[in-house]
């Protein structure tokens, strides 16, 4: 059963923090991209996190349905079945749910896990991200506290965000936010602890330190990882070592490896990877099209070559290429070879 139990997920995150490594959290949109993520983690002998956004859920449900909850459940159930054939632990997560979609996305998915638990089945998702970063902190935490209670009841970890991740991804555009919003303050981190800790349960914090969604050339993203240390120090100074956060790194594309490694020293245990894996999936398809263009479509009296246009041909190539990028992410985050799974 390489899909984690709630206790195994907590153990994964605790060991990552104690060992100064983190898990790639790979965004997927389909069974093909989910298979690529599974392969990449298995090839690296790394446990990992697979996640879906609201847009991914809608896409996965198809053009006629366009139901973000149904699509997310469908892909999650696929991962539950397929993960049994891999020798690494896999956790399922949802990514970037803004306040306006809490009632139409997060709560129905939490309810689905509650339904499964009542029937004696395992959690469908093991953690969910509520992104209230567009709100003032008090308003952000008001919604987070409500979700924290629901998550606690169902052994689900809640991820919250303060500050804003710049750029645009999956229809969420923060490119016009003022620069100071890209950096979480120590006061914000203390505020998150004070809001959520009394409720109990486990949570992660996506604190921002100049992160930007999207794809950029190396060196173009100006990160300040020490912001994470300053925030952790402030919380620990006031509430002790038990207040030390599990931190999440969003928007890692274009980041220097030295910056990534520095964040691991400050409590980052999860880094979202989406843009780069999307690129590698598509890159393999583009190469196939470029190399076989004349055989992919009918042209006059010449008919296309079924062995070239069969979607299984290029989707296998895409899966393999994306899996390589997932494995690279494991190497970058130092989780390679550290799976907790044993037969």
CA atoms of 67 and 72, how far apart (whole Å) = 9
pLDDT of residue 174: 43
Cα distance between the two ends of the chain: 10
Write down the mean pLDDT value for the chain. Answer: 92
Q: What is the pLDDT of residues 8-25, one digit of tens each?
A: 999 999 999 999 999 999
∠ Cα 213 336 272 (to 5°): 15
* Active site residue ranges: 95
pLDDT of residue 289: 98
Q: What is the pLDDT of residues 15-57, one digit of tens each?
A: 999 999 999 999 999 999 999 999 999 999 999 999 999 999 9
pLDDT of residue 254: 67
Burial class (CB in 10 A: 0-12, 13-18, 19+), 18: exposed
Q: What is the pLDDT of residues 266-291, one digit of tens each?
A: 999 999 999 999 999 999 999 999 99
CATH number of this structure's domain 6-333, picked from the four choices 3.90.1150.10, 3.90.1660.10, 3.20.20.70, 3.30.70.560:
3.20.20.70
pTM exceeds 0.85: yes
Q: Which residues contact 114 (CB under 8 A, 6 or more apart)?
A: 153, 154
pLDDT of residue 176: 46
Q: What is the pLDDT of residues 53-80, one digit of tens each?
A: 999 999 999 999 999 999 999 999 999 9
Q: Which residues contact 179 (CB under 8 A, 6 or more apart)?
A: none
- Averaged over 92-111, what is the pLDDT? 97
pLDDT of residue 145: 98
Q: What is the pLDDT of residues 205-222, one digit of tens each?
A: 999 988 765 555 545 557
Domain spans of the chain? 6-333
């Amino acid at each position: 059963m390489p899909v984690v139990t709630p206790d195994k997920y907590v153990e994964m995150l605790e060991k990552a923090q104690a060992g100064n490594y983190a898990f790639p959290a790979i965004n997927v949109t389909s069974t093909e991209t989910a298979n690529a993520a599974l392969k990449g983690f298995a090839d690296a002998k790394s446990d990992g996190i697979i996640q879906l956004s609201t847009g991914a859920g809608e896409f996965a449900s198809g053009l006629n349905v366009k139901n973000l909850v149904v699509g997310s459940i469908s892909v999650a159930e696929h991962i539950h079945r397929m993960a049994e054939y891999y020798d690494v632990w896999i956790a399922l997560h949802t990514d970037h749910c803004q306040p306006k979609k809490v009632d139409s996305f997060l709560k129905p998915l939490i309810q689905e896990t509650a339904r499964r638990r009542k029937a004696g089945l395992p959690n469908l998702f093991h953690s969910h991200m509520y992104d209230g970063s567009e709100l003032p902190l008090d308003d952000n935490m008001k919604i987070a506290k409500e979700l924290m209670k629901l998550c606690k009841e169902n052994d689900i970890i809640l991820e919250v965000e303060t500050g804003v991740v710049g750029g645009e991804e999956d229809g969420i555009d923060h490119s016009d936010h003022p620069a100071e919003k890209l950096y979480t303050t120590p006061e914000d981190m203390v505020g998150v602890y004070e809001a959520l800790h009394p409720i109990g349960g486990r949570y992660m914090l996506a604190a921002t330190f100049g992160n930007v969604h999207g794809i950029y050339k190396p060196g173009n993203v100006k990160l300040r990882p020490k912001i994470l240390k300053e925030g952790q120090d402030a919380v620990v100074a006031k509430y002790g070592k038990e207040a030390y956060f599990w931190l999440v790194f969003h928007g890692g594309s274009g980041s220097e490896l030295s910056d990534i490694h520095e964040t691991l020293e400050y409590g980052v245990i999860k880094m979202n990877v989406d843009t780069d894996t999307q690129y590698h999936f598509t890159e393999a398809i583009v190469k196939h099209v470029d190399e076989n263009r004349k055989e992919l479509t009918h042209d006059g009296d010449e008919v296309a070559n079924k062995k070239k246009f069969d979607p299984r041909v290029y989707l296998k190539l895409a899966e393999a290429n994306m899996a390589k990028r997932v494995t690279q992410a494991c190497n970058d985050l130092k989780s390679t070879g550290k799976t907790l799974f044993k037969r």
